[in-house]
Structure 1
């Protein structure tokens, strides 16, 4: 097991954990919120924050030799659950996955996330083929 850290924010968790198997790697990405490398929330809208979160997840996958299409499951936590927010999340998400390659997904409304002003948090599990 390899614990991976990619941000400058002090924390007692890994950004991701990689488990290497003979034919693939399992990558478990911790919940990401829409912050920059210093932990400051980026964007005020659900659309902006969703894009920031997915860019962070995409960067972790790229460092590990994967792509967004390697994601098999996401869990999405939001502080707003209205039609506009859902539309913005789905519009942004659709630009990150190939048609027909959408991961299994759970969406849960929560009262608050770890950073003040954060509207969305996403964690992801991926299977990256060897080679």
Structure 2
């Protein structure tokens, strides 16, 4: 019966043992971030949290191309690639358009190594001209 309390203690302490060491690294992608009050990328140990990247285009395919090219550039700054993307959240003002752009999006993921993902349709994004905004959580190692 003593095993159960030890297991519970181990589970409760587990997050503390795996917490990243050292300060958070904040990486600004543009001057507008300070004006609005957020940071484009935060590195916490081996984890990278990429704020939503807004994407414009004449078509959803063009917006997806723009967005994922920008995101790929961010990954490259940290020596990473799309196979390391753990979680993706996409906000769009046009879900049907995003669905038609799935083939375009899929080209950005190495060998079909897709992240866990949530796609959400919204009435408007912060940048009213953007068709979608994508945020990523990335494991660097």
TM-score range, shorter chain: 0.7 to 0.9
SS in structure 2 of the partner of residue 111 of structure 1: coil
2:131 is aligned to 119
Number of aligned positions between the proteins: 116
Q: Which residue of 1 aligns with 2:30?
A: 7
Question: SS at 1:121's partner residue?
Answer: strand
**CA-CA distance at 1:75 after TM superposition:** 0.4
RMSD over aligned CA atoms reads 1.3
Structure having the larger proportion of residues in strand: 1
Segments of 4+ moved more than 6 angstroms = none
Q: SS at 2:30's partner residue?
A: coil
Distance of 1:94 and 1:106 partners within structure 2: 15
Could you give the per-residue CA deviations for residues 68-103 of structure 1, whole angstroms, max 9, x where no partner exists?
111011001110122x43121x11111100233100
**Whose helix fraction is larger, Structure 1's or Structure 2's?**
2
Higher RCO, 1 vs 2 (CA within 8 Å, ≥6 residues apart): 1
CA contact (8 A) 1:44 1:117 kept: no
Counterpart residue number, 2:52: 31
Q: Given the two structures, how large is their TM-score scaled by the length of structure 2? A: 0.77
**Unaligned regions of 5+ residues in structure 2, if any?**
1-23
Point out where structure 1 has 5 or more consecutive residues left out of the alignment.
35-41
Structure index of larger Rg:
2
